[in-house]
Amino acid sequence: MSNENENPTPGSEEEGKDTLEEVKETLEEVVETVEEKAEAAKEEAEAATNKILSVIMGLKEKNPMAFYGGIGAIVLILLGMLFFGGDKVTQVPVPTIQIGQTYTLVNPNVTGGGDVLLLQAPGRMGATDPELREKEQVCVVDPNTPAKVLQETVVAFVKYVQVEPLEGDCAGKKGWTTIVNLKAQ
């Protein structure tokens, strides 16, 4: 048994060079064809642009009222989109709270309401470091748990409240959460 890779035949190097030349020639033909097609597409685009411009300029000369009316209509449409378009973004209603009152804890950012995270200090809700977040975490309160509001403060334009859950695993523990997690009972 012989292995073809161990002892190349003398003609194999010559055949490889011929094959390489054929590949180069084919590649050059393909490149030439692509360049021709790209040039043809460019010429077609220029012809279409020139045709559109000639129609518009002909309209300007033959019927200037229609030309300027069309420009005015486009401007009005753009202004209408600017002033009357847009998203219908709704904000979560922030309750007016009273210290000492009881509210329901529910996370409005979860469909149907979700768990509420209580932290040791206000302003740590966005902590991305898992170790810091775990160290700062007091408890995770189940949704719709009643809680008494103890304090209110603002950190970086966000309102926080200190609450004490009245039921569940977190009952009696005090922690901070954002005010949007409160819902009037």
Segment 143-172, tens digit of pLDDT:
999 999 999 999 888 899 999 999 999 999
The ranges of the chain with pLDDT < 50 are none
* Number of structural domains in the chain: 2
Residues 108 and 176 in one domain: yes
Residues 174 and 112 in one domain: yes
CA distance 116 to 139: 8
Residue 64 lies in a domain: yes
Residues 129 and 76 in one domain: no
Residues 135 and 74 in one domain: no
pLDDT given for residue 76 in this prediction:
92
pLDDT given for residue 111 in this prediction:
80
Q: Which residue in 45, 69, 67, 65 sits closest to 56, CA to CA? A: 67
In degrees rounded to 5, what are phi and psi of residue 30?
-65, -45
pTM of the model: 0.49
- Find all residues with CB under 8 Å of 162, minimum gap 6, and list them: 122, 149, 150, 151, 152, 153, 174, 175, 176
Domain residue limits at 60: 10-84
Residue 95 lies in a domain: no
Q: Which residue in 72, 74, 41, 70 sits closest to 56, CA to CA? A: 70
